[in-house]
């Protein structure tokens, strides 16, 4: 039986898993920003599992408005159990009907099996 190896990774907007061990993702956190303030925003984490494209909806919570940049910041943290394929990536994306997304951060943690 293989030894479990913990990991934590942050990327903007994606993280890439090595090809030699199977990742098991247990937490996902996202930080995104959008302008103008008050803009509606939704986020998704996209990845491949068992060769299939998967899109995970991530409910966001408003955190604050940065007065210097005029961006609203949104965050999310989820406890999950996801099985991305070896050597693939997870990426965060956003959709806004009337605004412009800025920097996207994705953090995942879990272990390699």
- Domain regions of the chain by residue span: 17-76+89-105
Q: CA–CA separation, 16 vs 57, rounded Å?
A: 19
Measure the CA–CA gap between 64 and 19, rounded to whole angstroms.
38
20-68 residue pLDDT tens: 999 999 999 999 999 899 888 899 999 999 999 999 999 999 999 999 9
Q: What's the whole-number mean pLDDT along residues 75-103? A: 94
Residues 6+ apart with CB under 8 A from 46: 53, 54, 55, 56, 90, 91, 92, 93
Q: Which is it for the CA torsion 30, 33, 39, 43, positive or negative?
A: negative
Greater confidence, 58 or 97? 58
């Amino acid at each position: 039986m293989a030894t479990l190896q913990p990991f934590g990774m942050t990327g903007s907007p994606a993280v890439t898993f090595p090809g030699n061990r199977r990742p098991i993702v247990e937490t996902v956190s996202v930080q995104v920003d959008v302008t103008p303030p008050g803009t509606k925003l939704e986020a998704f984490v996209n990845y491949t599992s068992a060769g299939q494209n998967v899109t995970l909806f991530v409910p966001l919570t408003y955190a604050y408005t940065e007065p210097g940049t005029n961006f609203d910041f949104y965050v999310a943290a989820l406890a999950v159990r996801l099985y991305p394929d070896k050597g693939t990536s997870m990426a965060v994306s956003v959709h806004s009907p009337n605004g412009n997304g800025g920097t996207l951060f994705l953090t995942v943690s879990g272990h390699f099996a």
